[in-house]
Chains A and B, each alone.
Chain A
Amino acid sequence: MIELSDTFIFDTMLKSSSLLGLSAGMLGVVISYQRRSIEINALAAGSFVGILVFYLLAGVGIYLSSYFSGEIDKYVFSFTGSIFGALFMIILLNILYKTDRLHMHIIQSLMTAVMLGVGITLITYIRQTGGALDSGIEIYLFGETTSLNSEEFDFLRIIAVAAVVLLLLYFRRLKIVIFNKDIARTTHFHVSFYYTLINIMVICLVAFSIKIMGVFLTVAIFLIPAVTARLWSNRLFIIMILAGVFGAVSGTLGTIVSGTLGNMTLGIAITLILAVFFLASLIISPYKGLAGKLIKYMR
């Protein structure tokens, strides 16, 4: 581990996963109070498809611009692909929500599975045609310890810090928008602005966390810190700070565990550590855990 901690890759991954954990944990509180937590699953699957479609476009020979061709091209392609995929998915879901015949969650979990199906069809197609592009696709399924390069790390740093700052800056307005949309509308501030802000942050963070966590476990880093923090308190600001702390600590520990053991990908390590946090809080938390119940019972 001491040898590892000197290397550039380990340093980058440690910083990036802790930053991602911090921002995603804080944003996850907002999302889980909006009852949209399973939508993250669908967005991750959508951005997975977006990456594959952009890979295919690059293979055919269509490039974004002449400026991006060369070494940097693959990373820019994958990042823009994941952004566009998540954007497409959020638009499609918002169209499908307009029906009153189905519950929102059914649509979300169905579209997740459908997008995974499209992605897997595309993977088999890419593998069959061969070429240089077929390597490095499967890291998106369960995450990879060394998946980010330094340009992407710069992107992630900007986006994560911006998300945290914006969440703290607009905290009071966001609280009203989340809990009571009607009051927010009648007090004349732009509800749609805050919705769009949340959506933009979600899309950007999902596009990164699909690389670190993998498609299937992206929802874990958004949701589990929020639920764990809810076990400790009932005030929104404290929950948000606690969720950020849980996310950051688990991101750091997960990188160390995954780097030390070697046969465990980063997404799995982070999820297991988050699950350990949840279980521990369920037992020892004085507010809603078993210990709190025992104390109340003793009195």
Chain B
Amino acid sequence: MFSMEFEIVIVIILSAITCSIPGAFLVMRKNYYAADTANRSAMLGIAIALIFSSFLSSPLVIVLGSLTAILGMYLVKKIKGLTHFRAKGISIIVSSTLLCFGILIASNISLNNSAEFDLSIIYLGDTAFTSFNRLRIAGIDIGSYAFYSILIIMIINIIIVMVYYKEFKIDGVDKYYAASIEMKEETIDFILVIMTALSVSVSFQTAGIFMTSAFILGPAAAALFYTKRLSTLAIVSVFLSSIACLVGFSIAWPAEVSISGAIVSFIGILFILSVLFAPEEGIIKKYFDYLAEQKKLDEYIILDILNTQSIDTSSSALIERLAKSLNWKFLRVSYLVNKLKADKMLEEVNGYIYLTLEGKYEIDKFMKTQNCFH
């Protein structure tokens, strides 16, 4: 029907969107171990399902994969209740044990008698492979099998988000308020885990099982630096993931390297760039804000000294005396005094330095906001 490249791009973009919808809420709720646990423990279910079927996108794979992912989360909760350890450590133990069983079953039993694929397709992912399994109705080819399975899971995810949007929002922003209006936290947790498990077990065939956590967390974590509203967060993360898919595919397809690997690398670059250079929340902007604040504080110190202390303020001796008593460098003090003169906070009359009315007003206003001096 369409060309092969177009179908592959559509399948990747759909799976990225499917993953990034629960990701936005996971990042919001600080439920950070869910993604890692889900994708590592889904391996067991996928390996068991591949004994019985040779399709990577058959319903059995999706159902068993998400069941074992939910089983992993359930075990983490049970052991946490028993021992009162932190959930992150227990999730590593449970998920790596289930992963080991999964790899053992996959490499020794389920992939032994199939000549079509080997173990590497589960953890590397092969997007080009998905377009070979065609869905036929009455002999007519209507598209790849993976396309429809991913589409169904995406529609399920969107419906869940539409229905429970208010609960997600209240529980994500304020846990204590949610508890006070008798909202069950465990129910919301369970719904999110179901969404995550379904997305992982359907999109492992395109992304590879370990890289799905980048598909889930990456766009949402990058989008968190540009917006503060939950609805915009979800939309921006969907947008970012589709951009990453397009760019990654257009790099990887001509060079014949792994498509999902290129997409995930691009998501990583996007994330690092937005952590560093985001216009309002980025590290570099915050650092320069901090420096400007420090400089402002220095100016206020000099203004306060001139305001309250009765010292000899002849312009030749003042800078030296300030530098000596504050233990600052001479150049720094003279720079600050000149800057204050230029801002009309200080004025020089007959070789003596005085505060102007403006400067007095400024320092009074500043001191009133500092509650510790009152």
Contact = CB atoms under 8 A, between A and B. Distances in A.
Query: What's the dominant secondary structure at chain A's contact region?
Result: helix
A95 B283 contact: yes
A121 B262 contact: yes
Nearest to A275: B97
A110 B214 CA distance: 5
B92 A114 contact: no
Contacts of B88: 37-38, 105
Given A118-B265, A219-B92, A268 B83 contact: no
A211 interface: no
A226 B90 CA distance: 11
B271 A110 contact: yes
Nearest to A108: B32
A53 B117 CA distance: 28
B30 interface: yes
Interface string A176-215: 0000000000000000000000000000000000000000
A101 B281 contact: yes
B252 A120 contact: no
A246 interface: no
A109 B283 contact: no
Contacts of A119: 261
Contacts, number: 162
A115 B264 CA distance: 8
Nearest to A142: B103
Interface in A94-135: 95-96, 98-99, 101-103, 105-107, 109-121, 123-125, 128
Contacts of B258: 120-121, 123-124
A223 interface: yes
A223 B263 CA distance: 31
A120 B88 CA distance: 26
A256 interface: no
Nearest to A116: B210
B97 A113 contact: no
Contacts of B36: 38, 109, 112
Interface bracket on A? 35 or more
Nearest to B262: A121
B326 to A, nearest CB: 25
Contacts of A216: 40, 96, 99, 210
Nearest to B90: A227
B22 interface: no
Nearest to A271: B100
B123 to A, nearest CB: 7
Interface in B258-296: 258, 260-265, 267-268, 271-272, 275-276, 281-283, 286
B184 to A, nearest CB: 23
A105 B30 CA distance: 9
Given A223-B92, A263-B108, A272-B97, A105 B33 contact: yes
A27 to B, nearest CB: 15
A232 to B, nearest CB: 12
A290 interface: yes
Interface of A: 32, 35, 37-38, 92, 95-96, 98-99, 101-103, 105-107, 109-121, 123-125, 128, 138, 141-142, 216-217, 219-220, 223-224, 226-227, 230-231, 263-264, 268, 271-272, 275, 278, 282, 288, 290
Interchain residue pairs A-B with the least CB separation, the first 7: A117-B264, A114-B268, A113-B214, A121-B261, A120-B261, A275-B97, A124-B258
